[in-house]
Structure 1
Amino acid sequence: MIWRSWDLNLKVRLFGELITHTFFWMYFPFMAIYFSDTFGKDVAGLLLMVPPLLGMLSNLFGGYLADRVGRRFTMLLSLCTSTVMFALFAFSPSPWIDYIAFIGIGIAGALYWPASSAMVADLTTEDDRRIVFATFYTAMNIGVVAGPVLGSVFFVHYRPQLLMFCTLVELLFAITVFFLIKETLPEHVRQEKAKERFSLIQQFQSYAIIFRDKAFALYIGAGILIAIGFMQLDIYMALYVKEHVMQQALFSWGNWTYSVGGTSAFGWLMALNGFLVVLFTLPVTRWFENWSDRNSLVISSILFGVGLFLMAFTTNIWLLFGCMAILTFGELMRTPVAQSFISKYSPEDARGQYMGASSLQFSIGRFIAPLTIGLSQWLAPVGVFSVVLGLTLVSAYLYIILFRMIGAEEASKSS
């Protein structure tokens, strides 16, 4: 799909999400370290489980709103909420207010993504969705290149000023969405939904119907396991690098040496992840566009788990870069396929809700993932990373079962 032929909605959101994600990655990767230093590891592990739990409900509610009142309204509600929460974070007088603001930002983000993904699906054809989703994923991850490196300076030394800039960026994006983005919820769907009485009971009944779809429930289960592994980049891997990767030379020239270690080494690892995503998302998507969804999801789960597991055996920054390259390649294979799979699988009149339900895999994964912080009190790094590898391998096996089930259902329908 040629960029010039894109709808204005997609172009505006592509640039807006690129900028907001740059600022997001300047603070988010350091929150596990910040709360661990402030409250202690055990308390931080428990505290970090709460935002994803609330995010699960927000995902479901965001999908419901996206299908009932529209994608645009839901996105505006999210951006206005995040603006207020970033302002609260910026002027916070205590770590507990920081934590409340962090929860609020997570809730706002969980509201946004079902509507955002549904809008992309509304405006693209099935053939173009992998490339469009891959382009959005690339834009989101441009911020991952510079964000962690800049955040290792600005979040530590200039946190209030950084958060004030985040507030301003969210506010400007909300204004842009208000004036330039048009609603994409199909009119006939909106008219049908308008006849229904708004009810939380009805909302959860509609989701109950979705989760009775065995294939979709299995997809969510596999996604939760891989999400637990993916979230370790910001949780256990952050602590592992901080505690075990000592100061060492990253570059040297004659008598000049640039050293990294601890938090700065983590920032460089996350920057490499983002750099590889930016450079290779679209090429990898094109290389594997003829691969089946099944093979892409299975291989990506295995690569991601293996890349994380190998980190347990080294503290050398360049070997850690190699591990990050392996797991990032798995990430690049998975993301566009996972997003386009739900677009194909979901019916048009429930697309937002399916997107919201699909987002649960990340919310539940984020809810469970901080347990590795507590687990690290009892296990050596190789033990913790072995547990994560086991989860990703089980995820790969569940994807195999899922596509066997889908194939059997399609065969029975055709017969």
Structure 2
Amino acid sequence: MQWRSWDLNLKVRLFGELITHTFFWMYFPFMALLFSDSFGKDVAGILLMIPPLLGIFSNLFAGYLADRIGRKPTMLISLFVSSSMFALFAFSWSPWIDYLAFIGIGVAGSLYWPASSAMVADLTTEEDRRVVFATFYTAMNIGVVAGPVLGSFFFVHYRTELLIACMIIEFLFAITVLFLIKETLPAHTREEKAKEGFSIKKQFRSYVVIFRDKVFALYTLAGVFVAIAFMQLDLYMALYVKENVMQQPLLSWGDWSFQVGGTSAFGWLMGLNGLLVVLFTLPVTNWFQHWSDRNSLVASSVLYGFGMFMMAFTSNIWLLFGCMVILTLGELIRTPVAQSFVSKYAPEDARGQYMGASSLQFSIGRFIAPLTIGFSAWMPPVGVFGIILGVSLLSACVYMYMFRLIPANQES
């Protein structure tokens, strides 16, 4: 699918999400460090479990809204709420207000993505979907290249100004969506949903039906396991690098050397992750497009788990870069496959709800993932990274079992 043939909705959102993600990654990776400093490791680990728990409900509600009132209104609600929460964060007078604003930003983000993914699926054909999702993933991760590196300076020294900039960017993107984006939910579907009326009971029943689908339930369970590992990039890995990677030369020439360590080393690692995503998402998608969904998802989980686990055995920045290359390859193989799998598996009239239900794997994973910070208080790094490897391999096993059921499920 050529860029020229893309719908205006896709082009506008591609640029908008690129910019908002750049600013997002200038502050988000440092939240675990901020709350660990403010509240201590044990309390921070518990506090970081609450936003994903709320995200579980907001994801489900977002999918319901996206299929009922439309993709565009749901996205607008998300963007205006997040802009307000950034304002609260910027002018906060207490760590607890910081935490409240952080919760609000997370809930707003959970509202956005089911509607956004459903809109992409509405506007693309099945054969083009992997490439379009991969392009969006590339654009969003351009921010991951510069965001953590810039954030390691601006978040520490100019946090208020950075958060004000985030507030303005979110608000401007909301205005752009309001005037340039058109609704993609078919009018007849909205009319039918409007006749049914709003009912929490009906919403709950619709999700019960979705999760009675054994294949989709297993897909979500496997996604939860791998999400626990994925989330460690800005949770335990951030803490491990800060505490164990001392100042060391990244580059040197004669008597001159560029030193990194602690928070700055973490910023460079996240920058490398983002750079690899930007440069290789589309090539990797093309290289592996003939792989089955099963092989892609299983290989992704295994690579990510081992890439993360090997970090336990080194504090050398260049060896850590090598580990990051391995786990990022797993990330690149997985993302477009996972997104296209749900869009082609879901019934067209319930696409938003299936996207919302699929997002649960990340919300539940993020809810459980901060436990590693608590574990780190009494376990050595190899033990914590061993747990991360274990859940990654468990996800691969669940994926293999799930795909054995799909042919029988299709025949029935």
* TM-score (normalised: structure 1): 0.99
Match of 1:325 in 2: 325
The residue correspondences of 1:14-413 to structure 2 (distance < 5 A) are 14-410=14-410, 412-413=411-412
**Paired residue type of 1:246:** M
Q: Secondary structure at the match of 1:232?
A: helix
Secondary structure of the residue aligned to 1:224 is helix
Q: C-alpha separation between the residues in 1 aligned to 2:83 and 2:391?
A: 36
- Aligned partners of 1:100 and 1:198: how far apart in 2? 29
Q: Distance in 1 between matches of 2:83 and 2:390?
A: 39
Report the alpha carbon displacement of residue 408 of structure 1 after superposing the two structures with TM: 2.2
For residues 65 and 380 of structure 1, the distance between their equivalents in structure 2, rounded to whole angstroms, comes to 44
Amino acid at match of 1:212: R
Superposed displacement of residue 246, structure 1: 0.3
Aligned-pair Cα RMSD in Å? 0.6
* 1:99-130 superposed Cα distances (whole Å, 9 cap, x missing partner): 00000000000000000000000000000000
The residue matched to 2:252 in structure 1 has which SS?
Answer: strand
**2: distance between equivalents of 1:245 and 1:186?**
53
Letter in 1 for 2:50: V
**Structure 1 Cα separation of the partners of residues 67 and 253 of structure 2:** 58
> How far apart are residue 188 of structure 1 and its match?
2.1
Aligned AA (1:128): D
Deviation of the 1:271 alpha carbon: 0.3
Please give the per-residue CA displacement for 1:141-168, whole angstroms capped at 9, x wherever unaligned: 0000000000000000100000000000
Q: Displacement, 1:407?
A: 1.8
* Displacement after TM superposition at 1:194 (Å): 1.2
Distance 1:170 1:335 in 2: 25
Which deviates the most, 351-360 or 371-380?
371-380
Per-residue Cα deviation, 1:45-90 (whole angstroms, up to 9, x for no partner): 0000000000010000000000000000000000000000000000
SS in 2 for 1:259: strand
Segments of 5+ residues of structure 1 without an aligned counterpart are none
The one-letter code matched in structure 2 to 1:377 is: A
Shift of 1:170: 0.3
For 1:181 and 1:407, how far apart are their aligned partners in 2?
A: 38
Following TM superposition, by how much is the alpha carbon of 1:205 offset from its aligned partner in structure 2, in angstroms? 1.1
Distance 1:67 1:215 in 2: 22
Distance in 2 (alpha carbons) for counterparts of 1:252 and 1:330: 31
Q: Distance in 2 between matches of 1:198 and 1:162?
A: 39
Which residue identity lines up with residue 363 of structure 1 in the other structure?
Answer: S
Q: CA deviation at 1:204?
A: 1.1
SS in 1 for 2:233: coil
1:281-339 alpha-carbon deviations (Å, 9 max, x no partner): 00000011111000000000000000000000000000000000000000000000000
Q: Distance in 1 between matches of 2:217 and 2:383?
A: 29
CA distance in 2, matches of 1:334, 1:118: 19
Query: In the TM superposition, what is the alpha-carbon distance from 1:268 to its structure 2 partner?
Result: 0.2
Which deviates further from its counterpart, 257-266 or 191-200? 191-200
- 2: CA distance between counterparts of 1:32 and 1:393? 25
Q: Render the CA deviation track for 1:220-272: whole Å, top value 9, x for unaligned.
A: 00000000000000000000000000000000111110000000000000000
Shift of 1:409: 2.0
Counterpart Cα distance in 2 of 1:395 and 1:378:
26
Task: Point out 4+ residue stretches in structure 1 off by more than 3 angstroms.
Answer: none
Percent of pairs with identical residues: 77
Q: Which runs of 5+ in 2 are unaligned?
A: none
